[in-house]
Amino acid sequence: MKEKRDCKIVQDLLPNYIENLTSKETNNFIEEHLKECDECQKILENMKKDLQTDSVKRDNREVKYIKKYNSKLKILRNILLFIIVLFIIIVGRKTFILVNLSNKAKTFENNQNFHSKTEFYEKGEMRTIEVYKKQDKILMTWTKYSQDKDKIKQIFYKSGEEKISLIDNGKTKTLTKVQDIIVDPISFISNNFFINLYTAITTNIDKVDLNGKKCYIIRDGNTEKFVDVETGIAIKEIDNKNNITVDYAYEFGVVEDSDVIRPDTTEYTIIE
Ligand SMILES: [Zn+2]
């Protein structure tokens, strides 16, 4: 009878015994009993077997889960790789366009013979700047048109060492000497590769047709800059925030000597 009662106790303890959760004394008691009891011995063996198949099942589940997780990770990695490649292609294309335009602009920026007309529109006012340049001769006319004010006209003339400014505000006409007159064609494109790379990342660049002229439009927040595909020189600039529009028109190699004749200064008062 005593043995049967021990069996009950031992069998209750066996699960913990397998998991090594029992004390040394209890282990001794169980092991002593197992030596003499075949039935409990068998039960222990079966329990161990069950535990093994359980762990195998658990392992299989884990392997399945890891496989599933890995394939998801692979898909995610491929999507990320695709986005990176797409980003590089788009930025690369834009950088290529900008570098190409800056190379073209370089030759036109230093052109010694050109005619340009620039029109500024701002808050109901229009200003125009017209330039004729032929080697060291420059004739630049700056006109401001206003709805409620008189027209103001300023002429800059440069021929060799002579550099003068003529202002006609509708009432008085004055002549002053100026330091220098710089009228180089405007290009929106930098010569610096890294600035072009930054521009490629931060702006949108599209090819558009503007009044029959092929150009690239560079959109950066509130501003839109139009650049001539052939020359890399500015065509138009729109500042939507400040409501300013500037139109540029350039013609290269068309200026004759008769376009850069010294203006008549007889009516102007000289101011030192
Ligand atoms: Zn027993």
34-92: pLDDT as tens digits: 999 999 999 999 998 988 888 888 888 888 998 999 999 999 999 999 999 999 999 99
**How many Å lie between the centroid of ligand 1 and the Cα of residue 126?**
109
9-13, long-range: CB < 8 A, 24+ apart: 10/34, 10/37, 10/40, 11/40, 11/43
**How many Å lie between the centroid of ligand 1 and the Cα of residue 52?**
23
> Which pTM does this prediction carry?
0.71
Q: Which two tokens stand for residue 110?
A: 């230093």
DSSP state of 40: H
**How many Å lie between the centroid of ligand 1 and the Cα of residue 53?**
24
Residue 110 has pLDDT above 70, yes or no: yes
**How many Å lie between the centroid of ligand 1 and the Cα of residue 18?**
16
SS3 173: strand
**How many Å lie between the centroid of ligand 1 and the Cα of residue 40?**
4
**How many Å lie between the centroid of ligand 1 and the Cα of residue 56?**
29
pLDDT in tens, 210-266: 988 899 999 998 999 999 999 999 999 999 999 999 999 999 999 999 999 999 999
State how far the Cα of 23 lies from the Cα of 8, in Å rounded to an integer.
Answer: 18
